[in-house]
Amino acid sequence: MAVGIATRSSRGHRTICLPIAEEAYSQIVNDPAEFRRAIDDCFRRMPELFPADFANGYRLKDDRMSAKQEIPIRRVRLKDGTAYSIRPSFLMPYLSARTAEVEGPLFLRKFGVPFWALARVFGNDPMFWYRLECGLGRFSVVGTTVRHAELPAHLLADEHHQQLDGAKVFRLMRPGRCLPIDAHFGAWCRQRG
């Protein structure tokens, strides 16, 4: 089994994000038996989304109402005593927004649309959009679960282009290392553009 990706912040908060649609979540969140059945089903289908000790057993701990999204959030307690919040995937991390509401504006950020323009068109203030974008980078790529990754067999290295004193420089990126490319190869690359 893969290592679980249940997120844990430095303060000890733990979250398990599960792919549950908003309609289904609203039907099961207030029914403990149905909620447990949904968690068990997700665990059977996608055990990599759960912490390693989840297989040892859990119990429903409590629930609370999210002040930001006005939606109930349930927690579970594992046999070892650690508690995890169950966050449905239709909510952004930290319950900052619903994914359907921010998908378009965050897509526009890819093309450099400024935060003030997003605020004017989609509402909220520019800092809301800035914080939301920054929040996407809080999670470690190393701990991210990839279910069906198909990497090319020949992909052992890549090059990284960056500017150094106004000149384009190349760095060879290998798994776990960044090595400078020798001067002859670098000159050849500069000639080729």
Could you give the CA distance from residue 39 to residue 99 in angstroms, rounded to a whole number?
A: 21
Looking at residues 169-179, what average pLDDT do you find? 57
Our CA dihedral for 13, 16, 22, 27, rounded to 10 degrees, sits at -100
The sign one gets for the Cα dihedral 32, 33, 34, 38 is positive
Residue 150's pLDDT band (cuts 50, 70, 90) = low
Could you give the CA distance from residue 88 to residue 32 in angstroms, rounded to a whole number?
A: 16
Could you give the CA distance from residue 180 to residue 182 in angstroms, rounded to a whole number?
A: 6
Q: Which of 104, 14, 98, 101 is nearest to 54 (CA)?
A: 14
Return the pLDDT at 155. 56
Could you give the CA distance from residue 80 to residue 71 in angstroms, rounded to a whole number?
A: 28
**Is residue 3 scored above 50 in pLDDT?**
no
**Is residue 7 scored above 90 in pLDDT?**
no
Could you give the CA distance from residue 128 to residue 172 in angstroms, rounded to a whole number?
A: 37
Return the pLDDT at 142. 45
pTM comes to 0.63
Return the pLDDT at 158. 59
* Cα angle 22-1-74, degrees, rounded to a multiple of 5: 30
3-state per-residue secondary structure call for the chain = CCCCCCEECCCCCEEEEECCCHHHHHHHCCCHHHHHHHHHHHHHHCHHHCCHHHHHCEEEEEEEECCCCCCEEEEEEECCCCEEEEEECCECHHHCCEHHHHHHHHHHHCCCCCHHHHHHHHCCCHHHHHHHHHHCCCCCCCCCCCCCCCCCCCCCCEEEEEEECCEEEEEEEECCEEEECCHHHHHHHHHHC
| 52-85 per-position pLDDT tens digit | 889 999 999 988 998 888 999 999 999 999 999 9
Contact status, residue 86 vs residue 39, Cβ threshold 8 Å: yes
